[in-house]
Structure 1
Amino acid sequence: MKACIFKTPGAPDVLTLADLPVPTLQQGTDILVKLKAAGVNPIDTKIRGRGAFVPNADFTVLGCDGAGVVEAVGDRVRQFSPGDEVFFCSGGLGGDRGNYAEYTVVSEADAVLKPSRLSFTEAAAAPLVLLTAWEALYDRARLAPRQRVLIHAGAGGVGHVAIQLAKLREAQVATTISSEDKARFVTHLGADHCIYYNRMDFVRAVMAWTDNKGVDVAFDTVGQSVLAQSFEAAKYGGDVVTLLAPADSTNWKAARDRNLRVSFELMLTPQLQNLPEARHHQAQILASCAKWLDAGKLHIHVDQTFPLSQAAAAHEWIHRGGGMGKVVITMD
């Protein structure tokens, strides 16, 4: 099979197309998937740049998100049969299990039937961002109806589904964006208030929007100074959830003074630490999202697609920034 791999961390050009054996089932609960598409996420570019989580691997096949058709199943698989269309977030953290490839092996516990309404390309773009946004807003912040939430980078991969999940929870949404095109995009998704972070101080804008009370929930998808500024935009006793590790220079005073609950969201932890219950919970999240996707209540926006042979170009696109929604690699 064809797969895109890297052996030594570095710039996008370390990604090369290679011929690898089709992976074989290792456990009775494994399924072999003929991949149709793989989502491209910022974590892929970070692993490529700094090295894989799995030590001592001869090479790494990237790609946490995948969608495709079940080709074969282990003797203890009960949920899937050959021919089923599935999507999942599994692999891509090091070694030969990843989704920048024509085939991959996945535990049946991590896979969910693909929403019939979605193309394989759209389905491959969905899992990681949906899991991240759901866990951040619903599990960590416990977002409730009529609450006000600030979502940073609302036009991005995580941001554009976070807006929709917040609206499905009947919350009021403010989001930071940088252009008129992005403002139109997030407004179409349901955002109630757009903040041009490159033109105005988002903390002041939030305070004006909330009558100086602050938001119930601030969701930081950017990191660095944005985290500390988000403390100042949250109301007393509110929640701030971040996807990034805090910088050493982070000023925590506002978080302490406001009695904030500060949470961290790394949706890869269940896979990295092999936590069966947490992985089961994530599969349940995907199944719930699949119903909303099929009902037209959730939408996945694919900004760009690249063939497998041009994975390096997909990473360069991510590095340039400025896109909306997701980037996807296709196998056909």
Structure 2
Amino acid sequence: MKAVVLNKFGEPINFRIEKIASRELKACELKINVKATSVNPVDLKIRSGVAETFAPEFPAVLHGDVAGIVEEAFPGSSFSKGDEVYACAGGVKGLSGALCESMIVDQKLVAKKPKQLSMAEGAALPLVSITAWEALVDRVNVEPGQTVLIHGAAGGVGHIAVQLAKALGAIVYTTASTSEKMQMGKDLGADYAINYKEMSVEDYVKHYTNGKGFDVVFDTVGGDNMEKSFQAVRNSGQVACIVGSGEHDMTPLYIKSATYHGVLMLLPMLTNEGREHHGEILKRIAKMVDHKVLKPVLDGEKFSFSSIGEAHTHLESGKAIGKVVAVNDL
């Protein structure tokens, strides 16, 4: 079958369309006819070699997010041929990814696609919605009335987290760099949008919380922004972060008796532990989408598998709003 493969780490130009061998289905697996995928920051890091630890072997087929139609299911499966499904189920060490005609996946990672969504929209959701769920529900257990600050309103995880936190009953604050991205955050349910380029952490903590800080801070940016998250949380509050690289002084959390949660969404795929939970999260997300509680926002630029390098370049540019999606044209 045809696939977009990577034979070495580096720039997006290294992607190549090649023929690769398919394999037989094993127990508890599904074969999905791939219709679409989306680009996540981890895909960029794997492609470039920054996240070489997570990379599949060369020739590598990248991308975890997939939406498509079940071609084949193992006997006794809860899925049937023809089911429209979505998942984040590969593109990492030990698991081939979605940039191919057909993807073989562990059915524990899969759920039926939200009926309200196209294949492209469905492919935008798995990684970001699972990540937001693990942070806001599994780790910090957001409760109604809590103040929740979400960094990155227009990002992939951020725009889902805003909607999820609001659905959980939180008072939602979000940060963004432009008026357009701030408005997007508010359109998705944020009660307050903060331009972090115009307002310091000290200023917005004072303005919105009387200097006390937020109950929960969800950092989808990482890097230097982690220190800002530590500064913004209240005494005995909670910080969740999805980008934990680099060296950070944890003293600000210690003196506030605050809790830090690291969220690595890839872990069940890498370790084969807890995969069922990802499938369950996607079932719940699908219900929320079909009841119009949550929706993905797709970037305006259109890409296909044969132009996946351009999709990577676009996400790396920082100009994308929402999710960058590519449809299968192999």
Classify the TM-score, shorter chain. over 0.9
- Asked if 1:189 is matched to 2:173, the reply is no
Match of 1:180 in 2: 179
1:223, 1:242 within 8 Å by CA — same for their partners in 2? yes
What amino acid does structure 2 have at the position aligned with 1:122? E
Match of 1:281 in 2: 277
Match of 2:16 in 1: 16
Is 7-16 or 119-128 further displaced after alignment? 7-16
What amino acid does structure 2 have at the position aligned with 1:235? R
1:62, 1:94 within 8 Å by CA — same for their partners in 2? no
- Alpha-carbon deviation of 1:246? 4.4
What amino acid does structure 2 have at the position aligned with 1:325? G
Q: How many residues align?
A: 327
What amino acid does structure 1 have at the position aligned with 2:295? H
Q: Say if 1:120 and 1:258 are closer, same or farther in 2 by CA, change over 3 A.
A: same
- Alpha-carbon deviation of 1:75? 2.2
1:64, 1:89 within 8 Å by CA — same for their partners in 2? yes
Q: Percent identity?
A: 38
C-alpha distance in 2 between matches for 1:32 and 1:317: 30
- Alpha-carbon deviation of 1:261? 0.5
Once the two structures are superposed, residues 175-213 of structure 1 have per-residue CA deviations (whole angstroms, 9 ceiling, x without a partner) of: 111111112111110111111111221342133101111
- Asked if 1:313 is matched to 2:314, the reply is no
- Alpha-carbon deviation of 1:46? 0.3
Q: Provide structure 2 residue ranges, at least 5 long, that are not aligned to the other structure.
A: none
Q: Provide structure 1 residue ranges, at least 5 long, that are not aligned to the other structure.
A: none
Q: Give SS of 2:237's match.
A: strand
Q: Could you tell me the TM-score, scaled by structure 1's length?
A: 0.95
Is 200-209 or 212-221 further displaced after alignment? 200-209
Q: Say if 1:23 and 1:121 are closer, same or farther in 2 by CA, change over 3 A.
A: farther
Q: CA RMSD in A?
A: 1.5
Equivalent of residue 253 in structure 1, options 251, 268, 271: 251
Once the two structures are superposed, residues 271-295 of structure 1 have per-residue CA deviations (whole angstroms, 9 ceiling, x without a partner) of: 11110xx211111111001001011
5 Å matches for 1:96-175?
A: 97-175=96-174
Equivalent of residue 297 in structure 2, options 290, 295, 301: 301
C-alpha distance in 2 between matches for 1:217 and 1:44: 28
1:60, 1:94 within 8 Å by CA — same for their partners in 2? no
C-alpha distance in 1 between matches for 2:15 and 2:292: 36
2:171, 2:191 within 8 Å by CA — same for their partners in 1? yes
Q: Say if 1:54 and 1:41 are closer, same or farther in 2 by CA, change over 3 A.
A: closer
1:90, 1:271 within 8 Å by CA — same for their partners in 2? yes
Q: Give SS of 2:302's match.
A: strand
C-alpha distance in 1 between matches for 2:206 and 2:246: 25
C-alpha distance in 2 between matches for 1:185 and 1:251: 32
Once the two structures are superposed, residues 86-135 of structure 1 have per-residue CA deviations (whole angstroms, 9 ceiling, x without a partner) of: 00010101467110111100121111011110000000010000000010
Once the two structures are superposed, residues 255-308 of structure 1 have per-residue CA deviations (whole angstroms, 9 ceiling, x without a partner) of: 111000001001101111110xx2111111110010010111101011133111
Q: Say if 1:260 and 1:267 are closer, same or farther in 2 by CA, change over 3 A.
A: same
What amino acid does structure 2 have at the position aligned with 1:125? A
Q: Say if 1:182 and 1:7 are closer, same or farther in 2 by CA, change over 3 A.
A: same
C-alpha distance in 2 between matches for 1:291 and 1:299: 11
Is 51-60 or 211-220 further displaced after alignment? 51-60
1:174, 1:192 within 8 Å by CA — same for their partners in 2? yes
Match of 1:7 in 2: 7
Equivalent of residue 271 in structure 1, options 269, 272, 277: 269
C-alpha distance in 2 between matches for 1:7 and 1:246: 26
Q: Give SS of 1:324's match.
A: coil
2:55, 2:93 within 8 Å by CA — same for their partners in 1? yes
1:60, 1:95 within 8 Å by CA — same for their partners in 2? no
Match of 1:291 in 2: 287
Q: Could you tell me the TM-score, scaled by structure 2's length?
A: 0.95
C-alpha distance in 2 between matches for 1:158 and 1:213: 26
Once the two structures are superposed, residues 219-250 of structure 1 have per-residue CA deviations (whole angstroms, 9 ceiling, x without a partner) of: 111112211121111110000011112422x2
C-alpha distance in 2 between matches for 1:260 and 1:96: 36
1:155, 1:182 within 8 Å by CA — same for their partners in 2? yes
- Alpha-carbon deviation of 1:21? 3.1
What amino acid does structure 2 have at the position aligned with 1:10? G
Q: Give SS of 2:141's match.
A: coil
